[in-house]
């Protein structure tokens, strides 16, 4: 069987404060709303812009880092996988969502400093745990594009 890849990478700005909650078992979950924009000129030479909104979900320590350090307007880099979920709403209708489950996040500050956070699978568990380190990036060359 051939391998496959499910990877999403975005750089954008937080459209709101992180929404952080706890599951029944006490696991922290942060939901981020991140805007990415693209600009182009139309055939008539007019400047055009389109903004896309992305739902990003962070778990465990990564969620705690988001809660502690992120605020509306912050520019961040997020890497993760795309997940599709469905559930039945209170009205009995099936609801659908598409989200990025983050496993890495870099805070891109205007001061040129950035902090990184990564999630790695824990041993013997399907849960993720995170490590946080604050490091100044040498420059934009560290970004994967």
DSSP string, 60-89: HHHHHHHHHH--TT-EEEEEEEEEEEEEE-
What DSSP character marks residue 112? S
pLDDT at residue 3, as a whole number: 93
52 domain-assigned: yes
The residue ranges of DSSP E strands in 28-137, in sequence order, are: 28-41, 47-59, 75-88, 94-108, 114-121, 128-135
107 domain-assigned: yes
1 domain-assigned: no
pLDDT at residue 109, as a whole number: 76
Q: Provide the CATH number for the domain around residue 29.
A: 2.40.50.140
Give me the number of domains the chain comprises. 1
What percent of the chain has pLDDT above 90? Answer: 73
**Each residue of 28-86: pLDDT tens digit?**
999 999 999 999 999 999 999 999 999 999 999 999 999 999 999 999 999 999 999 99
| Contact residues for 103 (Cβ-Cβ < 8 A; gap 6+) | 62, 79, 80, 81, 118, 119, 120, 128
Q: Is 43 exposed, middle or buried (0-12, 13-18, 19+ CB in 10 A)?
A: exposed
Which structural domain range is residue 45 located in? 8-130
125 domain-assigned: yes
């Amino acid at each position: 069987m051939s391998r496959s890849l499910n990877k999403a990478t975005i750089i954008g700005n937080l459209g709101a404060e992180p929404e952080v909650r706890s599951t029944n078992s006490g696991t922290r979950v942060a939901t981020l709303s991140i805007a990415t924009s693209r600009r182009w000129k139309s055939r008539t030479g007019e400047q055009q812009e389109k903004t896309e909104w992305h739902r990003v979900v962070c778990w465990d320590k990564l969620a705690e880092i988001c809660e502690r350090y992120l605020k509306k307007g912050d520019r961040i880099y997020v890497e993760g996988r795309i997940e599709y979920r469905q559930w039945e709403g209170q009205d009995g209708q099936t609801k659908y969502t598409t989200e990025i489950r983050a496993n890495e996040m870099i805070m891109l500050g205007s001061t040129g400093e950035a902090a990184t956070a990564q999630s790695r699978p824990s041993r013997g568990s399907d849960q993720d745990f995170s490590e946080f380190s604050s490091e100044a990036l040498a420059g934009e060359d560290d970004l994967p594009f």
